[in-house]
């Protein structure tokens, strides 16, 4: 297991990567400040196809000193996605920096290493009221954990 923790502005991100499928070290860093994302290195899989099929996501909001689990409502919240590719197919337009760098937003992900240079773009997330949030996603392939991604963020 490899742990990576980064604190950038309002966001602290911890990535836990489990190497059980043909993958390469993953590294994601970004900051969220007033619906702005700053992306640095974005390395993807080296497997021949999309290295995960399912995702179990837990999303929580801090209320006082406790974390309150947000239920799954319309693909948002603490959800289990049986087909991640189907969920990604809901993306209507890949952000231009991804297009320019040749980083796919939909399945299948072809074999290779994808790198997104430092860039910035707006992300509209009107459904989240201001506050502190915690999210964790466990990605699996053939019922085996491939990666666990955890992030903490604050929306103003």
Query: Which has the higher per-residue pLDDT, 106 or 57?
Result: 57
pLDDT digits (tens, 9 = 90+) for 99-130: 888 878 887 766 666 676 766 665 555 577 88
Please give the span between the terminal C-alpha atoms of the chain, in angstroms, as a whole number. 33
Mean pLDDT on 80-87: 83
Query: Which has the higher per-residue pLDDT, 17 or 82?
Result: 82
Q: Which residues pair with 54 in a beta bridge?
A: 140
Q: Which CATH class is domain 2-155?
A: mainly beta
Q: Rounded CA gap, 108 and 112, in Å? A: 12
Q: Where are the domains of the chain?
A: 2-155
Q: Which residues pair with 120 in a beta bridge?
A: 38
Is the distance from CB of 45 to CB of 23 less than 8 angstroms?
Answer: yes
pLDDT digits (tens, 9 = 90+) for 84-96: 788 778 778 887 8
The pTM score is: 0.58
């Amino acid at each position: 297991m490899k742990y990576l923790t980064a604190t950038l502005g309002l966001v602290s991100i911890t990535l836990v990567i489990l190497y059980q499928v043909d993958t390469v070290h993953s590294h994601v860093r970004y900051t969220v400040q007033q619906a702005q994302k700053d992306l640095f290195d974005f390395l993807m899989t080296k497997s021949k196809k999309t290295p995960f099929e399912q995702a179990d996501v837990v999303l929580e909001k801090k209320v006082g000193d406790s974390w309150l689990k947000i239920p799954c409502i319309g693909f948002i919240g603490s959800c289990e996605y049986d087909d991640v590719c189907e969920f990604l197919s809901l993306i209507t337009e890949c952000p231009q920096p991804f297009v320019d760098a040749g980083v796919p937003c939909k399945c299948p992900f072809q074999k290779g290493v994808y790198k997104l240079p430092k860039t910035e773009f707006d992300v509209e997330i009107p459904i989240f009221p201001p506050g502190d949030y915690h999210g964790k996603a466990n990605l699996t392939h053939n019922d085996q954990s491939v990666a666990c991604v955890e992030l903490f963020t604050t929306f103003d």
